[in-house]
Amino acid sequence: TAQEQTLGFQTEVKQLLNLMIHSLYSNREIFLRELISNGADACDKLRYQALNNDALYEGDPELRVEIEYDQDAKTVTVRDNGIGMSREDVISNLGTIARSGTAEFLQQLSGEQKKDARLIGQFGVGFYSGFMVADEVVVRTRLAGTEHNAGVEWRSRGEGEFTIAEIERAEHGTEIVLHLKEDAVEFADEHRLKHLVRKYSDHIEVPVRMPTVQEGEDETDTTITWETVNEAQALWTRPKSEISDDEYKAFYKHIAHDFSDPLTWSHNKVEGKLEYTSLLYVPERAPFDLYQREGARGLKLYVQRVFILDDAEQFLPLYLRFVKGVLDSNDLSLNVSRELLQQDPQVEKMKSALTKRSLDMLGKLAKDPEAYQTFWNQFGTVLKEGPAEDHANREKIAGLLRFSTTHTDSTTQDQSLQDYIERMQAQQQSIYYIVADSFNAARHSPHLEIFRKKGIEVLLLSDRIDEWLMTHLTEFDGKSFVDVAKGDLDLGEIDSEEEKKAQEETAKAKESLVARIREVLGEDVQEVRVTHRLTDSPACVVLPEHEMGYQMRRLMEAAGQ
């Protein structure tokens, strides 16, 4: 048509398409899950907007996703009567990837990583997965509530560009036609499609329908009946005992736009003063933008089963931003918005309850050390933000932390504070730690000499956040934390009487040596004193007890302080 226009994909899309087709080949059946997932999201969005404007349904309020196939034409079609898209929506949604940091991330992938389906899969692959089975994809769509001539047709062969044209379209919503590749015609098959719908989309509340054509007496007399293929009940509304692990996992992939299974989950229905259902998940792998300010976080919020918002961040603290899931509240108003959530006192209460749930879920996960280690390696440094952000749960969070210590002398952070306390010496009162720039610097610090000699365990801290963490972690299980590199370390509690006496004598004997060193170093030091900490090294530098540590100093310097 005259209005047809050809546009190029954003570079990131081209890269992703390329990677996807090669790395996800053996999983390509998931294209159906992704397209149904998008159709269901579109229905959710229409239902939400129609709360205030019935007319958006255009007389067709029965939301649904439909799947058809044609063996002769070698096509599979996925259609929904959801919100649909305007021309601008189509161009930005089906031509770019909005997530910031994507370009850098894709550029940094090594050759091996490019083949890792889980790395690629964290983009949610989404709409573009259609190109794994199709050599041409055609999208016809119209935004609900617009004129029939506001329809849009998008076409692409997935090779760098797409065309876009204005069309007449009587129905609102979106239809996606996949022209199957020669080696993917197997998908144009009733049993295959039904099987995939049940496998991946049972838990979606919107019915997914397929047609059955009944031939009548003569050729013209055929009738089509639509059969709902999936269970079509929102997963979290069903009783826990009736939901299989596979269903929980499939649902996770739908809401989290993730490709990997979750590590664990927690499904709870709460009744009483507050009424809500939550289904929280811990992912197996950190998204690349975990530390980016704009990275997506938060729960999918429903009110009385009506979808309201994606990424509602108000219900969990920042240090639990890796938790994904659904919250369905009976107390909030259907008219809530992001802004209103910030003022609602109910939200604070739910946040505190959901925080406890999340910590309990991690506590349970910790009973499986191998799974917990996976979690810790991915998200440990985020959880370390917890004691500073959430004083009320400090002790609980501390119990979930894992450390490298002189007990194992390994870089693997797998020792808990409980482990440490169980191994403490009889007279020992404190938990000792050292913070350094690297694991090796910590491990080989001269400050540890006396501890090693006496067989006292020391936590070896070298993550960037550790010093910050330790300024907020002062006590655990009644034991205080002591930095072995600071102040006049008092090991009195574990030194014997003879040792103490010998130490006093040494101090006296060395008074003149100390005076000479002080003279030489002059202004460069605050104080020189005899120490009993060292066994092999002749001297070491320590910070006064209440001074900022080295890492903090560097952080402050970097911030221009």
What residues form the annotated binding site for ATP? 34, 38, 80, 85, 93, 100-101, 122-127, 174, 338
Of residues 121 and 549, the one with the C-beta less far from ligand ADP:
121
- Strand 5-8, strand 161-167: pairing: antiparallel
127 belongs to the binding site for ligand ADP (CB under 6 A): yes
Q: Which does 39 bind (CB under 5 to 8 A by kind): Mg ion, ligand ADP, none?
A: ligand ADP
Residue number of the CB atom closest to ligand ADP: 126
Q: Which does 262 bind (CB under 5 to 8 A by kind): ligand ADP, Mg ion, none?
A: none
130 belongs to the binding site for ligand ADP (CB under 6 A): no
Of residues 78 and 303, the one with the C-beta less far from ligand ADP:
78
Minimal distance, residue 9 CB to ligand ADP, in Å:
13
93 belongs to the binding site for ligand ADP (CB under 6 A): yes
Of residues 82 and 262, the one with the C-beta less far from ligand ADP:
82
Residue number of the CB atom closest to Mg ion: 126
Of residues 94 and 184, the one with the C-beta less far from ligand ADP:
94
83 belongs to the binding site for ligand ADP (CB under 6 A): yes
Minimal distance, residue 31 CB to Mg ion, in Å:
11
Q: Which residues contact 326 (CB under 8 A, 6 or more apart)?
A: 236, 255, 277, 278, 279, 299, 300, 301, 302
**DSSP-assigned letter for residue 473:** -
Q: How far, in Å, CA of 401 to CA of 395, rounded? A: 10
Of residues 38 and 230, the one with the C-beta less far from Mg ion:
38
Of residues 80 and 385, the one with the C-beta less far from ligand ADP:
80
Tell me which stretch binds Mg ion (CB under 5 A): 32-40, 193-201, 212-220, 492-500. 32-40
Minimal distance, residue 296 CB to ligand ADP, in Å:
9
Among 16, 23, 29, 38, interactor with Mg ion by CB under 5 A: 38
**DSSP-assigned letter for residue 286:** -
- Strand 475-476, strand 404-405: pairing: unpaired
Q: Nearest to residue 157, comparing CAs of 123, 186, 181?
A: 181
Among 126, 207, 287, 386, interactor with ligand ADP by CB under 6 A: 126
Total binding residues toward ligand ADP, as defined by CB under 6 A: 16
Q: Using the CB atoms, write b or e for 531-540: b if 16+ within 10 Å.
A: bebeeeeeee
262 belongs to the binding site for Mg ion (CB under 5 A): no
The two tokens of residue 510 are: 């060395």
Q: Which residues contact 184 (CB under 8 A, 6 or more apart)?
A: 28, 132, 133, 134
Minimal distance, residue 151 CB to ligand ADP, in Å:
13
Q: Which residues contact 158 (CB under 8 A, 6 or more apart)?
A: 17, 21, 128, 131, 134, 135, 136, 137
Q: Which does 317 bind (CB under 5 to 8 A by kind): ligand ADP, Mg ion, none?
A: none
174 belongs to the binding site for Mg ion (CB under 5 A): no
Tokens 């440094």, located at residue: 381
Of residues 43 and 184, the one with the C-beta less far from ligand ADP:
43
Minimal distance, residue 527 CB to ligand ADP, in Å:
60
Of residues 121 and 126, the one with the C-beta less far from ligand ADP:
126
Of residues 38 and 278, the one with the C-beta less far from Mg ion:
38
Of residues 126 and 380, the one with the C-beta less far from ligand ADP:
126
Name the 3-class secondary structure at 227. strand
Tell me which stretch binds ligand ADP (CB under 6 A): 79-87, 227-235, 377-385, 401-409. 79-87
The identity of residue 531, as a single letter, is T
Q: Which helix (H) or strand (E) holds 475?
A: strand 475-476
Minimal distance, residue 93 CB to Mg ion, in Å:
10
Show the DSSP H helices in 67-138 as ranges: 87-93, 102-108, 117-121
**DSSP-assigned letter for residue 391:** G
Minimal distance, residue 257 CB to ligand ADP, in Å:
4
Which residues ranging from 25 to 44 are in contact with ligand ADP (CB under 6 A)?
Answer: 34, 38-39, 42
Q: Decide if 329 contacts 302 (C-beta within 8 A).
A: yes
Tokens 């050390």, located at residue: 369
Q: Which residues contact 440 (CB under 8 A, 6 or more apart)?
A: none
Among 16, 46, 85, 193, interactor with ligand ADP by CB under 6 A: 85
Minimal distance, residue 123 CB to ligand ADP, in Å:
8
Q: How far, in Å, CA of 406 to CA of 396, rounded? A: 24
Q: How far, in Å, CA of 326 to CA of 255, rounded? A: 8
- Give the end-to-end CA distance of the chain in Å, rounded to a whole number: 62
201 belongs to the binding site for ligand ADP (CB under 6 A): no
Show the DSSP H helices in 94-189 as ranges: 102-108, 117-121
Q: How far, in Å, CA of 278 to CA of 280, rounded? A: 6
Tokens 């995939």, located at residue: 196
Q: What are the backbone angles phi and psi of residue 78, rounded to the nearest 5°?
A: -120, 125
Tell me which stretch binds Mg ion (CB under 5 A): 36-44, 131-139, 298-306, 412-420. 36-44
Check residue 299 and give left, alpha or beta (phi > 0: left; psi -120 to 50: alpha): beta
Which residues ranging from 234 to 293 are in contact with ligand ADP (CB under 6 A)?
Answer: 257
80 belongs to the binding site for ligand ADP (CB under 6 A): yes
126 belongs to the binding site for Mg ion (CB under 5 A): yes
Minimal distance, residue 478 CB to ligand ADP, in Å:
47
Residue ranges of the binding site: 34, 38, 80, 85, 93, 100-101, 122-127, 174, 338
Minimal distance, residue 257 CB to Mg ion, in Å:
6
Q: Decide if 237 contacts 305 (C-beta within 8 A).
A: yes
Q: How far is CA 114 from CA 3, 519, 541, in A?
A: 38, 61, 47
| Partners of residue 225 on adjacent β-strands | 212
Q: Which residue ranges make up the site for ligand ADP (CB under 6 A)?
A: 34, 38-39, 42, 80, 82-85, 93-94, 124, 126-127, 174, 257
Q: Which residue ranges make up the site for Mg ion (CB under 5 A)?
A: 38, 126
